[in-house]
Structure formats: structure tokens, C-alpha cells
Amino acid sequence: MPTVAVLGAGVVGLSTAIKILDAGYDVVVIAQLFPGDPRDIRYTSNFAGANHSSMAGDDKRQFSECPCW
């Protein structure tokens, strides 16, 4: 199998790397900062946006009335 390079070690990059690994490819993650590195303003974290809990339930209005969707 070929090796796939993933750019970035934030939530999107690491999630993508896991999916590619699951598909059977070898993966190399290329990033300036990695989880566990000292805090830095340039680092968005491997947790960014990954802990979202919708409170909408079955209320479809909360999705249809949002101008951002």
C-alpha cells in the first residue's frame, strides 16, 4: 500500500489519518505542532470542535431557522 501524507494534526487532520489507516494505508502526519506539545497560539488542538452536543433534539425549527446552515 502507498503511504499517504496528512497535513495538520488538529481534529480534522487526525480524524482523516485514522480513516486512512482504517482503509489499510500507511499514514504520515505532517504538522508544525502536535497534541502534547506546549501550548501555542498557533495550535488549535486535537479537541477543537470535537465535543459538540446538539440540544436541538427533534425540533427541526432549530436547524431550518439558522441562517448559517
What are 19-62's pLDDT values in tens digits?
999 999 999 999 887 777 777 766 665 555 555 556 666 766 65
Closest CA to 46 of 15, 22, 5: 15
Query: What pLDDT score was predicted for residue 35?
Result: 74
Domain boundaries, the chain: 3-51
pTM of the entire predicted model: 0.57
Query: What pLDDT score was predicted for residue 4?
Result: 96
Query: What pLDDT score was predicted for residue 25?
Result: 96
